[in-house]
Amino acid sequence: MSLFRCPVCAAPLVREEHAYRCGAGHSYDIAREGYTYLLPPNQKHSAAPGDDRGMAAARREFLSKGYYAPLLNTLCHEITVRSGPAPVILDAGCGEGYYTSGIYRGLLAAGKRPRMAGIDISKFILRAAAKRDRDIEFAVASSYHLPAADGCADILLDCFSPLALEEFRRVLKPGGLFFYVVPAADHLWELKQVLYDRPYSNEEKETPYEGFSYEAIVPVEDTVTLKSQTDIHALFQMTPYYWKTPRAGAERLAALETLTTRISFRVHIFRKL
């Protein structure tokens, strides 16, 4: 049985060789790459929502170099020590699957038997995720309408994705864990110094959410050196700064062949009450 539920009638889906099907007769084809499409037309805000081809390629290129390995390693450790022998994990906004697949493989290496699914609203980026690991279920879907049953997940991961708290509470089991990853105050500070005349720090705050209690806030701090203009541009393209940087700042960045910058994250861990 799949971790996914039918987006039309909410019935359980069964994964067959070429499609997912529910008992009511609804069917969803499995793409060649291995993902399925569970985003109804009334949940789409554009013809191709989410990251476009260029952003998907940039994210895949950058993350494949291991620059954000410190964050992945922290997530692997925290989820491994806080999960049972066979955890059910849902990654809401999984992108190209770097963290999804890394966590899955880390749990297997620790002797656990995880069941894992990832969703993202971009079909372009899901293609890369599904190719990465065939043992994880991937679907194009919205975080605000998760195609998953009530109380099905032991752990929900949201890594730089929209905060759909009502849905997160719905799909988590009582006592389940919610991992919320956000950039810290000085994340990519040296990159922003190149882009902007007056760079600004990211806001950091500890926000209690209804239905959850705080377990921990885990910091991740490191410095990385990007060794080519290709890597620098890939990082730039996968950040929000790509869309709101003045031309002069983008030109300064394009002239660099290397860039050393801080990476800084906060992993907020909550438990469902």
pLDDT tens string, the chain, 273 residues long: the values are 899 999 999 999 999 999 999 999 999 999 999 999 999 875 555 444 455 677 778 888 899 999 999 999 999 999 999 999 999 999 999 999 999 999 999 999 999 999 999 999 988 889 989 988 889 999 999 999 999 999 999 999 999 999 999 999 999 999 999 999 999 999 999 999 999 999 999 999 898 999 999 999 999 999 999 999 999 999 999 898 998 899 999 999 999 999 999 999 999 999 999
Structure tokens at 222: 């490191």
Give pLDDT, residue 7. Answer: 95
Specify the length of the chain in residues: 273
| Residue 218 DSSP label | E
CA torsion sign, 19 to 9 to 96 to 173? negative
Structure tokens at 227: 């060794």
**Which are the contacts of 207, defined by CB distance < 8 A and separation ≥ 6?**
none
Give pLDDT, residue 47. Answer: 47
Q: Do residues 3 and 152 lie in contact, with contact meaning Cβ atoms separated by under 8 Å?
A: yes
| Helix H or strand E encompassing 236 | helix 229-237
Give pLDDT, residue 46. Answer: 47
Helices (H) and strands (E) in the chain, counts: 8, 11
Ordered structural domains, the chain, with CATH: 34-272 (3.40.50.150)
Comparing CA positions, the residue from 80, 48, 266, 89 lying closest to residue 172 is: 89
Could you please report the per-residue DSSP string of 79-131? HHHHS-SS-EEEEET-TTSHHHHHHHHHHHHTT---EEEEEES-HHHHHHHHH
| Residue 243 DSSP label | G
Comparing CA positions, the residue from 87, 139, 141 lying closest to residue 110 is: 87
Q: Do residues 145 and 43 lie in contact, with contact meaning Cβ atoms separated by under 8 Å?
A: yes
Give pLDDT, residue 45. Answer: 54
For helices 98-109 and 69-82, give the axis angle rounded to 10 degrees: 50
Q: Do residues 180 and 268 lie in contact, with contact meaning Cβ atoms separated by under 8 Å?
A: yes
- Core vs surface per residue 146-173: b (16+ CB within 10 A) or e: bbbeeebbbbbbbbebebbbebbbbbbe
- Residues 152, 158, 163, 166: what is their CA dihedral angle, to the nearest 10 degrees? 10
